[in-house]
Amino acid sequence: MDLNICVLPGDGIGPEIIEQAVVVLEKVCEKFGHKLSLDEAQIGGVAIDAHNTPLPQATIDKCLASDAVLMGAIGGPKWDKIDKSIRPERGLLGIRKALGLYANLRPAKLWDELKDASFLKDSVIGDGLDIMVVRELIGGIYFGEPRGEGVDENGERYAYNTMVYKESEVKRIVKLAFEIARKRGSKLHSVEKANVLDVSQLWNEVAEEVSKDYSDVDYHTMYVDNCAMQLVRNPGQFDTIVTGNLFGDIISDEASMITGSIGMLPSASIGDGKVSLFEPIHGSAPDITGTGKANPLATILSVSMMLRYSFDLDAEADLIEATVAKVLAEGYRTADIMEDGKECLSCSEMGALVASKL
Ligand code: NAD
Ligand code: IPM
Ligand code: MN
**DSSP label of 235:** G
> Nearest bound ligand to CA 135?
2
Residues recognised as catalytic: 142, 193, 225, 249, 253
Give the Å distances, CA to CA, from 309 to 97, 247, 292, 316.
19, 24, 30, 12
Determine the distance separating the centroid of ligand 3 and the alpha carbon of 268, expressed in angstroms: 13
Residue 218: per-residue pLDDT: 98
113 lines ligand 1 (CB under 6 A): no
Residue 126: per-residue pLDDT: 85
- Tell me the pTM: 0.97
- Structural domain boundaries, residue 184: 119-258
- How many structural domains does the chain have? 2
- Does the residue 168 lie in any domain? yes
Q: Which helix (H) or strand (E) holds 98?
A: helix 88-98
Among protein residues, the one with the nearest Cα to ligand 1's atom 37 is: 283
Whether residues 97 and 196 fall in one domain: no
- Does the residue 88 lie in any domain? yes
Query: Whole-angstrom Cα distance, residue 353 to residue 161?
Result: 45
State the CATH number of the domain containing residue 238.
3.40.718.10
95 lines ligand 2 (CB under 6 A): no
Whether residues 301 and 186 fall in one domain: no
For helices 224-233 and 245-258, give the axis angle rounded to 10 degrees.
10
What confidence tens digit (pLDDT) does each residue in 296-334 have?
A: 999 999 999 999 999 999 999 999 999 999 999 999 999
Q: Provide the residue count of the chain.
A: 358
Residue 68: per-residue pLDDT: 98
Whether residues 268 and 227 fall in one domain: no
Residues within the annotated binding site for NAD(+)? 76-89, 283-295
State the pairing for strand pair 218-223/268-270.
unpaired
Residue 36: per-residue pLDDT: 98
Mean pLDDT by 10 residues, the chain (358 residues): 98 98 98 98 98 98 98 97 94 98 96 84 88 98 97 98 98 98 97 98 98 98 98 95 98 89 96 96 98 98 98 98 96 91 94 98
Residue in 4, 239, 23 with CA at minimum distance from that of residue 134: 239
Whether residues 247 and 140 fall in one domain: yes
311, 68 contact by CB (below 8 A): yes
Determine the distance separating the centroid of ligand 3 and the alpha carbon of 279, expressed in angstroms: 11
Residues within the annotated binding site for Mg(2+)? 225, 249, 253
